[in-house]
Amino acid sequence: MAAVPRLGADEGGHGRGVVSRVQMKYRPFIIVIVLLALAVLALQYTVDVRVADQAGIRMALPTRLGDWRGSELRFCHNEACLKEFPREELKDAGKCPACGTELFTMTLIEYKSLPTDTEFLKGKYTNAAGESVFVSIVLSGRERESIHRPERCLVGQGNSIDKSYVLEAPLAGQKPLGVMTLETSRPVDLRSGKQTLSGYYAYWFVGQGRETPSHGTRMFWLAWDRIVHSVAHRWAYIAIAGRREAGSDKFQQQVKDFAGLLQPEIKLAAPARPATPGGS
């Protein structure tokens, strides 16, 4: 008999759980309905959305960043070859020295998974201590669908994200750059047995005169500029990645230093704010 009241209590618990689950279940739909209503209103008051072709960044990587030396990378898309080369070591940047086919600025997998007007640039830098940092820049095209939540891709590639937070990279004469920093780890099979590879992945987004470490904030500005200014800007996503010692936060200095060196090299001066339709 002792089991009966307990069962009742459990059911009560489940009942409450169902109510809150129902609320949780419908919350996303309510948000979607509110957003749709706003979008309909916005469409009535705005003319066609103009696609702005200027980007907020320069699609080129320097060969020196402070004490770091590096190069853009080029990738062969011939499935029998698939080699990659530092741009600086190529006599002809357009042709694979191994198989003679065309070279691209992104890997074949990236090429296949992104809209064709997406611009992509990758680079690798090393310093005197033998440390490496990988850089990638994705610049969205007309479809504006090129930039996804980076966390999803990292997990899809077998990484787990142990921690995430925003680091502030100091910039000369400007307020610091916020950089979303993810501490990642990935199991790898080595000859010596299973090991965990610890790394970091740090990123920020750049729009016209706007920078943010937050995917949500970027989505907000994208929608805001569409609705208020009738313009769809090309946003860029800048990511740096490297190794990290498990349990040590020494890599954070590398993230701050490297991001602080890279940002002024690629950022273009912000033009005037887009004029509202019919405004001056």
Using alpha carbons only, what angle is made at residue 80 by residues 79 and 81, rounded to the nearest 5 degrees?
A: 90
Binding mask 73-92 for Zn ion (x = CB under 5 A): ---x-x--x-----------
The 3-state DSSP class for residue 41 equals helix
Stretch that binds Zn ion, among 14-22, 35-43, 95-103, 142-150 (CB under 5 A): 95-103
- Binding test (CB under 5 A) with Zn ion, winner from 96, 169, 206, 261: 96
CB 99 to Zn ion: min, Å: 3
Q: Going by DSSP bridges, is the β-strand pair 119-126/231-234 parallel, antiparallel, or unpaired?
A: unpaired
CB 34 to Zn ion: min, Å: 51
* Contact status: 99 vs Zn ion (CB under 5 A): yes
CB 114 to Zn ion: min, Å: 21
Stretch that binds Zn ion, among 29-37, 71-79, 192-200, 263-271 (CB under 5 A): 71-79
CB 74 to Zn ion: min, Å: 10
Stretch that binds Zn ion, among 70-78, 176-184, 187-195, 261-269 (CB under 5 A): 70-78
* Contact status: 103 vs Zn ion (CB under 5 A): no
- How many of the chain's residues bind Zn ion (CB under 5 A)? 6
Alpha-carbon distances, residue 245 vs 143, 162, 203 (angstroms): 39, 13, 19
CB 203 within 8 Å of CB 133: no
Stretch that binds Zn ion, among 98-106, 136-144, 225-233, 234-242 (CB under 5 A): 98-106
* Contact status: 93 vs Zn ion (CB under 5 A): no
Angle between helices 3-45 and 215-228 (to 10 degrees): 40
CB 241 to Zn ion: min, Å: 24
Nearer to Zn ion, 103 or 147 (CB): 103
> Buried b / exposed e across 26-54, counting CB within 10 Å, b at 16+?
eeeeeeeeeeeeeeeeeeeeeeeeeebee
Per-residue tokens: 103: 């070279």
CB 79 to Zn ion: min, Å: 10
Per-residue tokens: 182: 């993810």
CB 108 to Zn ion: min, Å: 11
| Count of CA atoms in the C-beta half-sphere (13 A) of 233 | 28
Nearer to Zn ion, 85 or 200 (CB): 85
Alpha-carbon distances, residue 63 vs 38, 48, 68, 87, 141 (angstroms): 47, 41, 8, 10, 26
Alpha-carbon distance of 274 to 46, in angstroms, equals: 14
Binding site for Zn ion (CB under 5 A): 76, 78, 81, 96, 98-99
